[in-house]
């Protein structure tokens, strides 16, 4: 091994950093890109298959119901309020704020997961009825796996926040969890527009 001469000392560098300074943040971005691509492919397939039909939804298929999906979309948007507050609290090292935010979001996540079940029924078509049904179900399922993962992660984090022992960097982790939450809820809005609203418009 080459011998070295020390030119600097890094011992005083911070150990808890937020945002793009943290490794986890970049890792989360990486997975957001991957999952974003998957959802993009679902939407691309949706419009590609659309070309094979003269009407959309196809003949003899009802339009998707809008009540529950719209509630869900609203909930997804609103859920960002507690999550943003938890994110900000984590940057202030305000553990109480983080706990409240995560507790509320855990509850919301469970509600959203249950609502997802009813959203499938709101589609008014089976996955094996035709390609329209297939791609609508696939899009909902693809996003559903993100929802399920994020629900599990948020709930696990909530338990950790209350049970401890906590370290500073767990709060940075909470902030990264918030980043994923923004993605998961944010990406739903265009998907909601495509899957539920566009059949009424197109």
Partner 1 sequence: MTAIPADARPTDDESVRRQLDETWRQTPGLWGWLTSVDHKSIGKRYIVTAMVFFVLGGLEAGVMRAQLARPENSVLGPDAYNQFFTMHGMTMMFLFAVPVMTAVGLYLVPLMIGARNVAFPRLNAYGYWVYLAGGLFLYISFFLNTGPDTGWFSYVPLAGPEFSPGKRVDVYAQSITFTEIAALVAAVELIVTIFKNRAPGMTLNRMPLFVWAMLVQAFMVLFAMPWVATVTQLLAMDRLVATHFFNPAEGGDALLWQHLFWFFGHPEVYIILTPGLGFVSMIVATFTRRPVYGYPAMVLSLLSVGFLSFGLWVHHMFATGLPQLGQSFFTAASMMITIPSGIQIFCWIATIWAGRPRFGVPFLFVLGFVVIFVIGGVTGVMVASVAFDQQVHDSYFVVAHFHYVLIGGAVFPLLGAFYYWFPKITGRMLSERLGRWNFWLLFVGVNLTFFPMHQLGLEGMPRRVYTYLAGTGWGPLNLLATIGAVLVVVGVLLFVINVAVSLRRGALAGDDPWGADTLEWATSSPPPPYNFAHIPVVEGRAPLWEQPGELPAVSGLRTDVRDVLVTTLLDARPDSLHRHPPPTIWPLLTAIATTILFVTLIFTPWGAVIGTPLLLLTLLGWGWPHGRDHQEQRMVEQTG
Partner 2 sequence: MCSHYRENGGAAGQRGSAAKHLSVLLIVLALSGCKREERDFHGLPAGGTITNPKVREVPFVAGGSVPADSRPGPYEENAYAVSQGKTLYNQFNCSGCHFQGGGGIGPPLMDADWIYGSRPENIYETIAEGRPNGMPSFGRKIVPDQIWQIAAYVRSMSGLLRKDVAPGRDDAMQVRPQEQSTQKAKPVQSGIPKSAELP
Question: With respect to partner 2, which residue has the nearer C-beta, 9 or 128?
Answer: 128
CB of 93 to partner 1, least distance (A): 7
**Does 9 interact with partner 2 (rule: CB under 8 A)?**
no
Tokens of 107: 């509850």
83 binds, among partner 2, partner 1, none (CB under 5 to 8 A by kind): none
110 binds, among partner 2, partner 1, none (CB under 5 to 8 A by kind): none
Within 81-110, which residues bind partner 1 (CB under 8 A)?
93, 95-96
CB of 139 to partner 1, least distance (A): 11
Question: With respect to partner 2, which residue has the nearer C-beta, 101 or 133?
Answer: 133
Question: With respect to partner 1, which residue has the nearer C-beta, 79 or 177?
Answer: 177
Q: CB–CB of 180/102 below 8 Å?
A: no
Within 29-68, which residues bind partner 1 (CB under 8 A)?
30-31, 33-35, 37-38, 41-42, 44-45, 48-49, 52-53, 58
Within 112-151, which residues bind partner 2 (CB under 8 A)?
128-130
> How far is 10 from 137, CA to CA, in rounded Å?
52
Please enumerate, as own/partner, the contacts of 114-121 that have beta carbons within 8 Å and a separation of 24 or more: 115/68, 115/71, 115/72, 115/75, 116/72, 116/140, 116/144, 116/147, 118/68, 119/68, 119/69, 119/72, 121/65
> How far is 78 from 90, CA to CA, in rounded Å?
19
Question: With respect to partner 2, which residue has the nearer C-beta, 61 or 89?
Answer: 61
- 21-to-18, 29, 102, 172, 177 alpha-carbon distances in Å: 6, 12, 23, 11, 15
User: Which residue ranges make up the site for partner 2 (CB under 8 A)?
Assistant: 128-130
């Amino acid at each position: 091994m080459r011998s070295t001469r020390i030119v600097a000392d890094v011992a005083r560098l911070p150990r808890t950093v937020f945002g793009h300074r943290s490794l986890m943040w970049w890792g989360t971005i990486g997975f957001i890109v991957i999952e974003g691509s998957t959802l993009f492919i679902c939407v691309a397939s949706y419009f590609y298959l659309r070309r094979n039909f003269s009407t959309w939804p196809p003949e003899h298929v009802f339009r998707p119901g809008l009540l529950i999906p719209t509630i869900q979309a609203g909930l997804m948007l609103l859920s960002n309020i507690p999550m943003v507050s938890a994110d900000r609290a984590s940057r202030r090292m305000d553990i109480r704020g983080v706990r409240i935010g995560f507790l509320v979001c855990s509850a919301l996540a469970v509600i959203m997961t249950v609502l997802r079940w009813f959203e499938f029924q709101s589609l008014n078509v089976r996955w094996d009825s035709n390609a329209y049904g297939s791609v609508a179900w696939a899009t909902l399922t693809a996003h559903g796996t993100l929802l399920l993962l994020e629900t599990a992660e948020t709930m696990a984090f909530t338990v950790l926040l209350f049970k401890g022992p906590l370290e500073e960097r767990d709060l940075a982790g909470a902030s990264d969890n918030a980043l994923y939450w923004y993605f998961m809820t944010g990406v739903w809005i265009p998907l909601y527009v495509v899957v539920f609203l566009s059949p009424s418009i197109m």
